[in-house]
Structure 1
Amino acid sequence: MKELYKLFSENEKNYKLIYNKDYRKRYSQYFTDFDYSKKLVLSVGKDIYKKNNLNILEPAAGTGNLILSLLLNLRNSCVKKVRIDMYEIDANLIPILTSNISKLKDRLKNEIKINFNIINKDFLKQEIKEKYDIILSNPPYKKIRKTEISNNSTYINFFIGQPNIYHLFLIKNLDLLKDDGYCVFLSPKSYFSGKYSEKIRNYIIDNYNIYKIYSFDERKKIFNNEIQQEIIITSFTKRKLNDTIIEYNNNGVYCVKQKNIISEKNKKSIILVPRNKKEFETIKKIEKSFKFNLGDLGFKIKVGQNVIFRAKNKYKLFTVPYKKNKTIPLIRSRHFSKNGLNYSNNIKGKNRYISMENKGVREYAVKNDNYLLFKRLVTKNNKKIFNVIPYFKNFFDSKYISFENNFVYIHKKNFMIEELYGLYFLFNSYLYDLYYRAINSTHGLNIYELESMKFPSINIIREIGNLYLVNNISEEEIYNFINTLIQ
């Protein structure tokens, strides 16, 4: 069947030569690489192949790569007849898609009877009464205005903030699934956590089971690095399941109870994706041993107030040099170092202080106090996922300070030094590194995710801090102590 893969690939390549990147971006077209189309197909439960007839849906068909991989996988099964509905909104793809599937049908005519319908319409706007055994989907990815769906009761109630079009595909796909069918969905992982997709996530948890999750770091093959979030393949079904299968970057497969990868508290839910069985067991121990969220302990998590270009346009905020009682120190990413805050005069660049002459400046400042500072950008290839340092209120002789928007910070009333160091060592530990990797779904720290994590009691946090401040214990010994807390 190599000739079919070659044919489909050449037709896709020719299409890309004719229709440039800007055109394809208009439709959010990211064609599925065959390596990943095969992984989608392998995420369909094998029990569905015991049927003689299958009803199949591809809601964003492209050039038909997913259907090719699926039908070739069906050849040695009990399936002898398939009916396929393929939706494709781009009229320029229809001739290619029709030619590809026609050749596939002819090639398999002695093995599987194939009836296919290609519909050149917007899938989301169609009223579809049919239900499907298998739904394979690599949907478009782009943010849309909430006003675009404000009159559609099917979608509007699922969203808190701005939706992404792939969310709509997911909701509709699940609605069209037979009770014993499988919906396999390639998408960013972001709907597994975060406030904006909370209602979608709760709907999935309440009405469906997750058969398999395949997660991977490589985005380039599918998205040319244009999609910044981590990507996953998820297989959903209404069937009763005992376990969920998890695979990460081809590094082995393991099974877990679905309830053990769902973290819920105070109506907040997150679907965890540990990379391996060892990480899963460790996270399970963390959530069993630690009972508190940061909010329970009096901590608040916020993003830095100062979006530089907006503030600069709105007010004449910046002044050089420093003037006591007339300026506020502006803490920017360039001042962040692994050894702490570096605010020396040797740092290149200006605009390190904010003028207090304008009355509106206070919206960009906070009280000068103790804070735990994080860089918002998450780089999962780094040895540690958290870039975190303690900030002490005696660093500046100033009533106020201002954090650039590239920071996330943790604060509480009467934030004690031992609490500050206790949290610092927890976030720098191996345990919390792998814990957050399993939760995080974007390229930045997410407040919703941080608020959902479990922590030890405030007394234990203080004890960790005092190991460093009072007992003068080495950092390695402190991290060893943290590990003992979940034994």
Structure 2
Amino acid sequence: MNRQSFIEPKNDIISLQSAFLRSKSLESRKTLGQFFTGSVVSDYMASLVVKPKSNTVRILDAGAGTGILTASTALHCLGMGCRTVHAVLYELDCEAVVSLEQTLKIVQNKFCKQLGTFTYEICCEDFVLARPDKKENIQPFDISVINPPYFKYSAKDSPYAKAVADLYHGDPNIYASFMAVVMASMKAGGQMVTITPRSFTNGLYFKGFREYLLTESALSLIHIFKHRDKVFNNDDSSVLQENIICYLVKGSNTNTITVRSSDCDISINHADEKQYPVHLIVDSSNNQRLIRIPESACAAVILQKAETFKTTFEDAGYFISTGRVVEHRTRQYITKETRTKNTVPLYRPHNVTPLTATWTGNHRKDVSFSLNEDHDKHMIKNGTYVLLKRFSSKDEKQRLVASVHLAKMHYCEWIGFGNKTNYIGVLGGELSTIEAYGLAAVLNSSFMDKYFRCISGNTQVNATEIRVMKFPSRDQVKEIGEQAQKLMLFETAKIDLIVNPVLGVVDLI
């Protein structure tokens, strides 16, 4: 089938999607968690599918929108020689169903012209709550190419958590529930292609989901996007997470995982590609099963080097905790008065700068914490800690920003760390000044920052990922600290000159 024969129906399908997008406000789409897939991305996702062996290919679309993904997938199947295709499509937004049916009619006509048969059924209901895998007399599916909705829900009171409790436990995002139910609906050897945020690849909230997904299927390919706002037809750039396309096969095994990387949809068909052993991408050394994604060959070398470290952050003897002060719950304690006897410094993200933490009380954002009744449950004993920002801004070059807080900086019994910072110390002991500077230097180094980016794709630094990161030994940290504490001014290049020789990574950065 020539390329021109595909272009004509796809143009009509794209027009239907564009018209629907114009008819819906951005706010109404956000309410439903809708981020619409563009034509280039939908065609690319469909192209990852290999020809099923079934006589009648069954396609499942779990969040159909106006049907562009099913259209791309069905037409791709037709191009591979699949003459009989049946699609089951779920779409909760009843306003989209008219455009969806028009799209499917276009596909149906295309099949007829090629002497094929395309049939479909539309289910205007909530896919996760409907649980098609549990319905009687429904055959499992061969293919599912999906762009699921995106919004968070609570594991305590959301019906979605109850609906997927037999598959996995956790408090993640609705897109993970869509992926889990789709996987449960697939036949052995069934192919699932998804475009989602990268967040499920790490983090405690997605631990149960990762275990389910990686047990039920083989992750064969990951395509990473570096710019979320250039992937979806949503006229919205407020969602900052990186996005990935994943190709998974149910009940299968693989020894390698292909990683592709592109900036946006325009360059999607010219992505950099590399194959890696599964153990490098899926960390099986702990119960988190983090999925690490090196964006380049250089990042892969850094990841491989980090894997040679003999210990992890936690096993080296360090702890990391999130600051105890949640400001919106403790407003009665927080004051701009910074010079009174009954207050102690409260460290916020702006106080955490590379290598040295600074709180003078003179900065416009500096605040104190009043030692009123029950203050102790929000405070920790003043001591020497390393502070690590939990969130980095878009314009910061470093994802990891760490600084040293010395006990002698403030002559007070208690100290306050906000929950937008992490604080680090030694398990069962006191952190020395030298070791604190060593820890801060390691975390601020280019090597560790690039290693962390392989683990996490968003701007949040969670304690869970830090705990299981491969890490230098305490002796190495102290060796680095001996030199780092002499630095009068932070410069990444100077930090790297100290850290890299000790870690044996001089030629990698």
| TM-score (norm: length of structure 1) | 0.90
The residue aligned with 2:279 is: 259
Task: Tell me the residue number matched to 1:423.
Answer: 439
Given the superposition, is the C-alpha separation of residues 364 and 151 from structure 1 closer, same or farther in structure 2, using an over 3 Å criterion? Answer: closer
Match of 1:140 in 2: 149
In 2: Cα distance, 1:349 partner to 1:477 partner: 33
1:279 lines up with 2:299 in the alignment:
yes
Structure 1: distance between partners of 2:469 and 2:72: 39
Aligned pair in 2 of structure 1 residues 270, 380: CA closer, same or farther (>3 Å)? farther
What residue number does 1:119 align with? 123
CA contact (8 A) 2:52 2:142 kept: no
Deviation per residue, 1:313-369 (Å, 9 max, x gap): xx3442524123x2211222333334633334542256x22222x122222221111
- CA 1:441–1:476: 2 relative to 1, 3 Å: closer
Q: Which amino acid aligns with 2:258?
A: I
Q: Aligned AA for 1:137?
A: I
Q: Measure the CA separation in 1 of the matches of 2:298 and 2:21.
A: 43
SS at match of 1:114: strand
Q: Distance in 1 between matches of 2:352 and 2:393?
A: 16
- The reply on whether 1:436 has 2:456 as its aligned counterpart is no
1:231 and 2:248 matched? no
Which of 8, 18, 35 in structure 2 is aligned with 1:30? 35
1:110 aligns with 2:122: no
Cα RMSD, aligned residues only: 2.6
What whole-Å deviation, never above 9, does each CA across 1:421-470 have from its counterpart, x for those lacking one? 22122112222111110111433111111111011221121122124358
Tell me, yes or no, if the aligned pair for 2:441 and 2:484 is still in contact at 8 Å.
no
Residues 245/51 of structure 1: CA separation in 2 closer, same or farther (3 Å cut):
farther
Q: Tell me how far 1:272 sits from its aligned partner.
A: 0.7
**Shift of the alpha carbon at 1:57?**
1.0
Conservation of the 8 A alpha-carbon contact between 1:62 and 1:88 = yes
Which stretch has the larger CA shift, 329-338 or 59-68?
Answer: 329-338
Structure 1 segments unaligned to the other structure (5+ residues)? none
Compared with structure 1, are the counterparts of its residues 476 and 449 closer, same or farther at alpha carbon in structure 2 (3 Å cutoff)?
A: closer
Offset at residue 51 of structure 1 (A) = 5.9
Contact 1:244 1:256 in 2 (8 A): yes
Match of 2:20?
15
Distance 1:448 1:12 in 2: 40
Q: Distance in 1 between matches of 2:213 and 2:22?
A: 39
1:152-178, Cα deviation, whole Å (9 max, x unpaired): 474256123x23221211111111222
- TM-score calculated relative to the size of structure 2: 0.87
Q: Distance in 2 between matches of 1:114 and 1:231?
A: 31
Match of 2:98 in 1: 95
Q: Which residue pairs with 2:265 in the alignment? A: none
Q: Could you list the per-position Cα deviations for residues 251-276 of structure 1 after superposition, in whole angstroms to 9, with x for gaps in the alignment?
A: 41111122221113342221111112
CA contact (8 A) 1:150 1:156 kept: no
Bigger CA drift: 62-71 or 340-349?
A: 340-349
Cα distance, 1:7 vs structure 2: 2.2
CA distance in 2, matches of 1:476, 1:422: 12
- How big is the shift at 1:486? 9.1
| Aligned AA (1:371) | Y
1:165 maps onto 2:174 in alignment: yes
The alpha-carbon distance between structure 1 residues 381 and 42, as it changes in their structure 2 partners (threshold 3 A), is: farther
Q: Which amino acid aligns with 2:224?
A: S
- Aligned partner of 1:468 among 484, 488, 491: 484
Structure 1 residues 41 and 483: alpha-carbon distance in aligned structure 2, compared to 1, 3 A threshold: farther
| Paired amino acid for 2:75 | L
What are the ranges of 5 or more consecutive residues in structure 2 without an aligned counterpart?
1-5, 263-267
Give the C-alpha shift of residue 75 in structure 1: 4.1
Q: Is the 8 A contact 1:319 1:355 kept in 2?
A: no
Secondary structure at the residue paired with 1:405?
A: coil
* CA contact 1:49–1:77 (8 Å) conserved in 2: no
- CA-CA distance at 1:192 after TM superposition: 1.1
* Cα pair 1:58 1:135 within 8 Å, conserved: yes
**What is the DSSP-based 3-state SS (H/G/I as helix, E as strand, rest coil) of the residue aligned with 1:259?**
helix
